[in-house]
Structure 1
Amino acid sequence: MERDSVSLDTRSMIANRLSALRIRFLDVLEIRMTECEALRDSLEAGTLPEADRVGAVRAICFAAHKTVGVAATLGFADLGMLSQRVELAATDYIDRSEPPTTVRMVVSLADDMLGEMALILAEAGR
């Protein structure tokens, strides 16, 4: 009997901590989404010099990388998957992998990631 109550208490404590982490993640996600939207917009405009274009792709790559693991861990598997796609495409662009990944491809994948971020935030009432 005592074992069941400890297990219930432990599960409750874990659920509370996960809930707090999800709330903090949503706070970070709002900021990250705004930053990635600005980067995406600057890439989409097509007016950046090459060095700035690479810098913007690198920044999107880093934001996607930070999102990948945390999103999946906190129950946002679709966002984790989309973020991973952005990270891989951005890395290919930066590394000049073959076949070549274009900025347009990175922007398109970033749009998918941003759409999922917006959906998650809307469902959370933000």
Structure 2
Amino acid sequence: MKRALDIAAIVLTSLLLLGFVALSLRGFFDPQAASARFGAPVSDAPGVLFYRVYLSRNLVIAVSGAIFLLSRQWTALAVLLTAAAVLPLFDMSVLLLNGVTPPAVHPVALALLGITAALLWWRARSVRV
């Protein structure tokens, strides 16, 4: 069971980080279409710039996570993904407060980040003990 949870933590983390990179890169190349899928389409230059800043945040999380994953820093990775789990909540709140229904990607991201963070906390604890 321990081995299966370790593998699940590593695989889920890897897929999650790859997803962050893929969505961010797609948004850099076509910010108007990507922002529309995010729930708040942008069409002017300041909106595109802000969306790219948002995507840069996701890339920083993904690169930091990859570094922690490759160096097997489980606690640091668990902290990073726990903090990142707040981001979909924040995004959904901002969208809802502005009358925009958040796309399904936000609750899915929240669930995946929460599950992955929990698995990483379990892994970090089991490595220390």
TM range (shorter): 0.3 to 0.5
* TM value normalised by structure 1: 0.46
* TM value normalised by structure 2: 0.45
Higher gyration radius (CA): 1
Larger RCO (alpha carbons 8 Å, 6+ apart): 2
